[in-house]
Structure 1
Amino acid sequence: MTVQIDKPSVRPSGLQPVRWSGRLAVGGLLLAGAAWVVHGVWEIRLALAGEPASGPPDQGDGVHRPLTALENSYHLVTAFGGGAVLLCALSFVSWLWRLRDNARALSGRGPRYGGVWVYLGWIFPVVNLWVPRGIVVDALEATAPGRRRPVSVDVWWGLWLIGMLSGVGIVYRDSTDEIIARAYSEVWPLLASDVAVVAAAVAGVFAVRAVTRVQDERMRAVAGDPER
């Protein structure tokens, strides 16, 4: 009589579970997307209310009139959106860092981009047009060479660039009072940018889930534990 003893699976050195960091990144994206939906709703409210007879909040030469209740609430909505984006950024970067480290352990080769770009790649001018996406794609290719890249990755990045380059999305140059003035006079560009940001968040959810699934499957295969 032969008794077969199953050997416990061993996770290769350097690999870390990626599921939970992926779920946190998804949660951060959904939170940011929801915050920008609220953002858009408030801009519509401002447009429907119309500019007060006293003019825009910022009246030039350092003069600011008292805000209306609606304008003041928009400032609060903007602050909430900023907090949501910060949480989204922290959770996404944490996921991206783990994704990158696991890809290096799985492939045995160094990543294409240095670790500093996991952070600076989002804020450094010009390179922020391709480096963050490049880090995701590099990690995916190192994890599963030859595997087709999920369409959601390119959709997410394209929408992110639209929202960023529009100047009124996640990264904008105008002050909150200037955005309020624009909502009174030209709300449609603001709403178009909001739609791009929300769509980028939704596409990002699909991208994170798809890339996480690919790496998790590869890690289970390497560990010899298909049911983990």
Structure 2
Amino acid sequence: MSPGVPTYGVRGLSVAGAIAVGAATLCYLLTALFPIVGVRMARSAAEQLDRDVLLGAVLAEVLFSVPYLLALLTAGTLVVIWTWRARKNLDAFPGAVPNLSPAWAIAGWLVPIANLVVPARALADLLRNSVWRRRQSWLVGVWWASWLVFLIGDRFVARAEQQRYDRLTELPRNDAEFATYVRFYEDALAPRLVPAVACLVAGIAFVVLVRRISAAQQDRLARAVPTWPGQPVRPGHPGWPAPVAPVPPAPPATSAQVPPGPGGTIGA
């Protein structure tokens, strides 16, 4: 790990984010399939010529959408925080070469137009510098394509439905006018299936990406060994030096004795 660069745990946040994304995906699927309920309620209203039943269908759809909006807000918040933390971790990984700054990890989700491209680049950046397996990059493409289909398809379907609903009789009085509400819900189901399937694929792909990136980063953080000098290390820690066997001291060096030659001093 690079010395002096802070790192962040992402495991718990990835679990919470995955759960929130899954909940948002499930709630959206329920709202997309609401026309099945709406058809039954509209038929009941047509049989009884009861406008209150039609009003109940509108209120029921609103109630269906509230959990989705709450789950979407929660998932969005957790995903933005996770993306920023995971991107900051790349700065501490030797060999990582990210293409986007940490600021884009947040702004990329929030800035209009940019949020159609930047999140995909950010995820590709995280996957490439965390997992180190290029063959998994197709997951980013699957997520990005399905996410775009969901975003654009949902807005298109919602706008078309609103235009059709505005043409309905506000206060139906006879069988023909009530029947228009039945047809409205019958015709609403098929177009909603396109963004619903795209949302399901995007949700699954995103959860897989988040889990794989987080697992790779956590594994790398767990195996990290301090590299800067002077950091205290406890015995038994991977950075603690191995014991060295003691070396016996060498005998002191002495000069060789030279026998006295002729003319030497006795007893000197």
TM over 0.5: yes
Q: Deviations over 1:110-151 (max 9, x none)?
A: 843344433332243332221011112212333355654354
Counterpart for residue 75 of structure 1: 62
Q: Distance in 1 between matches of 2:29 and 2:131?
A: 35
Render the CA deviation track for 1:16-38: whole Å, top value 9, x for unaligned: 21111111111111111121122
Please, which moves more after superposition, 11-20 or 30-39? 11-20
SS, match of residue 121 in structure 1: helix
SS in 2 for 1:122: helix
* Counterpart check, 1:41 vs 2:44: no
Q: Find the aligned partners of 2:110 and 2:163 in 1 and give their Cα distance.
A: 22
Give the counterpart of 1:136 among 106, 120, 123.
Answer: 123
Cα separation, 1, equivalents of 2:107 and 2:185: 32
Work out the CA distance in 2 between the residues paired with 1:134 and 1:204: 13
| Contact residue 32 and residue 84 of structure 1 kept, 8 A | yes
SS of match in other structure, 2:100: coil
* Matching residue of 2:204: 202
Q: Return 5+ residue gaps in structure 2 as ranges.
A: 47-51, 166-183, 227-236, 239-268
Structure 2 counterpart of 1:3:
none
Amino acid at match of 2:71: A
Letter in 2 for 1:142: N
Q: Does 1 or 2 have the higher relative contact order (CA < 8 Å, sep 6+)? A: 1
Name the counterpart of 1:178.
162
Change (3 A) 1:107 1:141: farther
Sequence identity, in percent? 24
Q: Over aligned residue pairs, what C-alpha RMSD do you find?
A: 3.5
The TM-score, its normalising length taken from structure 2, stands at: 0.63
Counterpart of 1:103 in structure 2: which amino acid?
A: L
Letter of the structure 2 residue corresponding to residue 72 of structure 1:
L
Compare 11-20 and 92-101 and name the one that shifted more.
Answer: 11-20
Q: How much does 1:185 deviate?
A: 3.2
Higher Rg of the two aligned structures:
2
Q: In the alignment, residue 162 of structure 2 is paired with which amino acid?
A: E
Deviations 1:185-227 (A, max 9, x none): 332111221221122112211111111122222223334999x
The SS at the match of 1:222 is: coil
Q: Which residue in the other structure is 1:57 paired with?
A: none
Alignment of structure 1 residues 1-228 onto 2, 5 Å: 13-50=5-42, 68-107=55-94, 111-145=98-132, 147-168=134-155, 174=159, 178=162, 181=165, 183-223=185-225
Q: Give a deviation string over 1:18-63, Cα, whole Å, max 9, x none.
A: 111111111111111121122123232224544867xxxxxxxxxx
Of 110-119 and 38-47, the range deviating more from structure 2: 110-119
User: For 1:69-125, what per-residue CA distance to the aligned partner results, in whole angstroms no more than 9, with x for missing partners?
Assistant: 121011111122111100010111111111001012214778433444333322433
Structure 1 residues 173 and 50: alpha-carbon distance in aligned structure 2, compared to 1, 3 A threshold: closer
C-alpha contact 1:160 1:200 (8 A) present in aligned 2: yes
* Separation in structure 2 between the aligned mates of residue 209 and residue 161 of structure 1, nearest angstrom: 21
For 2:9, give the aligned amino acid.
P
Equivalent pairs counted in the alignment come to 204
